[in-house]
Structure 1
Amino acid sequence: MSRKTVTVFAATGSAGSACVEELLRQDVFNVQVLARAGGLQEKSSSGLLNSVDTKQQRWDDWRRRGVVVKQADVTDHASLIPALEGTDYLVSCVPLFATESQYPLIWAAKEAGVERFVPSEFGFIYEWEQFWPTDNAHKTAARQKAFIRRVIELAGLDFTIIPAGLWIEYFMPEPVAVMGDGNTKISWSSACDVGRIIPHVLAHPASRNAVCPVAATAYLTWNELLDARERILGRKVERVYLGHEDWLKAYDETPDGPMKAIVGIGVSATECPEGMPLWAHWNAMHLPAFKGTPLEQLFPEYIEPRVRELQAMLGAA
């Protein structure tokens, strides 16, 4: 049987890079990267963009290791269609506020004969969140992501949806705002582990036309995660416990921008209907051999530097 070809879009971000690296390590698929043509600006949910030189170095390294890098005007169907020809699975790793950049990809994927599209839904289970009572910036994104799935289906493409719960790096600035009492187990992921788990989900036969909610890094309560962080850092981690009304107040007081959408996650998470959990642990059943990055390594090497970047960005805003 010939190997499937996976093409990754937005491959130079944290999740996209980790996805490409894991595809190479896994050695199950042929690997391609869809690169934006020179001069095209990309959106970012964090405001942090890789430099052109950094991207070029990454593309050159991947080429040396067998990755096919295809450049295209990612806003133009005529450019995208030939770039996607030969692709079996198209994986999108665009950030939250670049969700709409996936529409031309879907049309071009249909025209190019792509079999399956993996949209960027690596957070909540948006099919549920879109119907919750309180409007906020994140719920708006949820509705759009749910609509994108409908567009994928309309195009006649298979899909794989990979919700990944809360991304640790966005919720660790202190005082850490805990959602609720902190005693309910939830799915935790980091960008590097989200990228790593995507190839494993794709390779599993149960992932076709399925929603596969994963805990890419850990399945823990807030309190268990923060207690682990304290042990690893050797200090107390300041935390505050916020209920739904507290999150609503914080949301109203947060200026428009990326942080407002992050606070909106707290609003949505704390009004999750009883008996309908936001998060799940699909990989525990279907990918038991997959292990997230150990917290002892993840916090000092990845999370804490990301937290400092986030705090610096917020301080400059």
Structure 2
Amino acid sequence: MAQKPLVLILGPAGHTGDSIVEGLLESGNYRVAGLVRPSSLTKPSTEKLRQRGVEIRAGDLKDSMADLKKHLEGVDIVVSCILAMVVLDQKDLIRAAKEVGVKRFIPCDWATPGQRGIRPMGDMKGEIRDFIVDIGLPHTFIDVGWWMQLFLPLPARSKREPEVHARVNTEYAGGTTPTALTDLRTIGRWVARIIADPRTLNHPVLICEDERTQKDAFEIGCRLSGEAESLAAKRISISAEEIESRFIKFKAASEASENPMAWEILYPYWTMAYVKSIYVMGENSIASAKKIGYLDAQALYPDMTRTTLESFAEWFYALEEPAYAHF
């Protein structure tokens, strides 16, 4: 009997990586390995992975080409869930994957679809996509829209910082833009289907479980949190014109800075770039993604159970701290 495909996950203990580990193991169709930095080998999160049956391989994206090839021994599929700030460091691993014959490489995307030139992070991920295509490495590019965990307004009992409350209680550009949403907890189940499907080879795919507006999220939050009055009192509204003004301001500050990657420079610019893309340009929708060549995971797998924003909200507002997944 043929062995199950071996999937190597980079960043297996992060939010997205953990979901993918769970989904692959739950499917029963894969062997799963995780690439973990040597300094993290004794961390509780790594031990948890071992206990779940994940093979741990010690390594780093900046290892030598010989070591990178060794990390990829026997690997059929690579799924990258690395930190956003090191996205461009994937290139040597991609070269190594091509040389050893990896059958499918899924680079670190896991966000919203959109055109180039608006979101700096999207452009960095686009550079990696171009690199993969140029060297001829079999691949699938997977985006997931916006997490449901980051879309609902927070109840007053949440102990998260005021700026976190303000971020998710802000209505952008009228709040009526359709937004593709996915429950972080279920991303791995979709990935398990996508990476086994020959139809998705060498294509971008959008995972979207529900498509709702900010006004929908606010109404659901008021109804299911039991804190309608409190949420209404804290509601903030920012127009499309103000979003564009802030985007131009923050972009100019980044371009003029000697250290554009400094958090105080980077964060407002990158955040407003996503706000513009999602809520002004409407790029985070199934229709918009299809226009630029994405396959729709809903259409590919109509038998998959999808999480609606309402059903997610029932779980979310029952948590002691609903902001567990906020940055």
Q: Shorter-chain-normalised TM-score: which range?
A: 0.7 to 0.9
Alpha-carbon distance between aligned partners in 2 of 1:273 and 1:233, rounded to the nearest angstrom? 27
Kept in 2, the 8 Å contact 1:186–1:279? The answer is no
Q: How many residues of Structure 1 are paired with residues of Structure 2 in the alignment?
A: 286
Which of 244, 247, 267 aligns to 1:248? It is 244
Q: In 1, distance between residues paired with 2:66 and 2:8?
A: 18
* Preserved CA contact (<8 Å) 1:8 1:32: yes
Shift of 1:229: 2.0
After the TM superposition, list the runs of 4 or more consecutive aligned residues in structure 1 that deviate by more than 6 angstroms.
Answer: 273-276
Q: What is the RMSD of the two structures over their aligned residues, measured on CA atoms?
A: 2.9
Give the stretch that moved more between structures: 177-186 or 109-118: 177-186
- Letter of the aligned partner of 1:34 in structure 2? L
- Contact 2:23–2:186 (8 Å) recurs in 1: no
Whole-angstrom CA distance in 2 between matches of 1:162 and 1:187: 13
Shift of 1:277: 5.0
User: Structure 1: which 5+ runs fail to align?
Assistant: 40-50, 133-138, 311-317
> What do the CA deviations read for 1:25-60 (whole angstroms, capped 9, x no partner)?
101122111112227xxxxxxxxxxx9522232233
- The answer for the alignment partner of 1:46 in structure 2 is none
Q: In the aligned structure 1, how far is the partner of 2:201 from the partner of 2:133?
A: 12
C-alpha distance 245-303 of structure 1, shift in aligned 2 (>3 A): farther
Cα offset for 1:117? 0.7
> Are positions 1:98 and 2:99 aligned together?
no
- 1:83-123 deviations in whole A, cap 9, x for unaligned? 11211110011232221232222112112221111111111
Report the Cα distance in structure 1 between the residues aligned to 2:45 and 2:286, rounded to whole angstroms.
41
Deviation digits for residues 143-174 of structure 1 (CA, Å, limit 9, x no counterpart)? 21111111111222111111222234445443
**Equivalent residue of 1:153, what SS?**
helix
* Residue of structure 2 equivalent to 1:177: 170
* Matches of 2:237 and 2:13, distance apart in 1: 35
68, 72, 75: which one aligns with 2:59: 72
Structure 1 counterpart of 2:120: 140
1:135: which partner in 2?
none
Given the two structures, how large is their TM-score scaled by the length of structure 1?
A: 0.79
The aligned counterpart of 1:228 is 220
For the structure 1 residues 205 and 74, does the alpha-carbon distance in structure 2 shift closer, same or farther, using more than 3 Å as the test? same
- Structure-2 residue corresponding to 1:210: 203
Moved more, 85-94 or 169-178: 169-178
CA distance in 2 between counterparts of 1:31 and 1:203 reads 14
Give 1:7's aligned residue.
8
Alignment TM-score, normalising by the size of structure 2? 0.77
Larger Rg: 1 or 2?
2
Q: CA deviation at 1:16?
A: 0.2
Q: Tell me, which stretches of 5 or more residues in structure 2 are unaligned?
A: 154-163, 254-263
Output the amino acid matched with 1:234. G
Distance 1:116 1:35, change over 3 A: same
Going from structure 1 to structure 2, the CA distance change for 1:73 and 1:165 (only over 3 Å counts) comes to closer
- Relative to 1, partners in 2 of residues 1:15 and 1:159: Cα closer, same or farther, differing over 3 Å? same
The answer to whether the aligner puts 1:306 opposite 2:324 as a matched pair is yes
Who is 1:45 aligned against?
none
- Aligned partner (choices 111, 115, 122) of residue 99 of structure 2: 111
Q: Contact conserved, 1:15 with 1:193, CA < 8 A, in 2?
A: no
- Tell me, in whole angstroms, the C-alpha distance in 2 between the residues paired with 1:177 and 1:193: 26
Structure 1 contact 35–69 (Cα < 8 Å) conserved:
yes
Structure 2 Cα separation of the partners of residues 93 and 259 of structure 1: 23
Any idea what the Cα deviations from partners look like across 1:251-292, whole Å, max 9, x if unmatched?
Answer: 447942435422321122344279995456822211223334
